[in-house]
Amino acid sequence: MVDEMVSASYKGRQMASNEYLDDVHVRMLRVTEDLRAIQQQLNCAAMQAPGDPELMEALAQLPEIESLELLKSALDQMRHFLFFYVQLMTTGSEAEERPAPKKLQSAQVESLIEKYTSLSEAVLLRHFANSKHRKPN
């Protein structure tokens, strides 16, 4: 009788855990899809902005910039977290045996992020600068 209760309790926890992981998986898929849609919309706006002064002005407004900075910050934090989470999940007990210094890893990741951020900003600025010298259609 006690064994049955323990077994039922364990199965209940296992099902709850699986349901929780299923929920997380569905949310990750939904967020990934949303991020792709946001990227596509921002890309379209960036391509249309040079020829549309009203759109360019709207994109340069403070609320728009603040929203982009908030999204960028959240994505940077998630990228850091996922990097360490994937390492932990894929290495298992090896991570416990030889942990890498967090400051060194953090500095390396931040320098890589800054490099790609500055590259993408440079490409966008170059696009805007080149579009100012184009002839209107």
In the predicted structure, residue 61 carries a pLDDT above the cut 70: yes
Could you tell me if residue 52 is inside a domain? Answer: yes
Could you tell me if residue 88 is inside a domain? Answer: no
Dig out the tokens for 105 from the structure. 């890893």
76 confidence band (pLDDT: 50, 70, 90) = very high
In this prediction the pTM is 0.52
Write the pLDDT tens digit of every residue in 92-111.
655 455 555 666 666 666 66
Q: Which domain holds residue 17?
A: 1-60
How many structural domains compose the chain? 1
Could you tell me if residue 129 is inside a domain? Answer: no
Could you tell me if residue 34 is inside a domain? Answer: yes
Q: For position 8, what pLDDT does the model report?
A: 52
Q: For position 78, what pLDDT does the model report?
A: 94
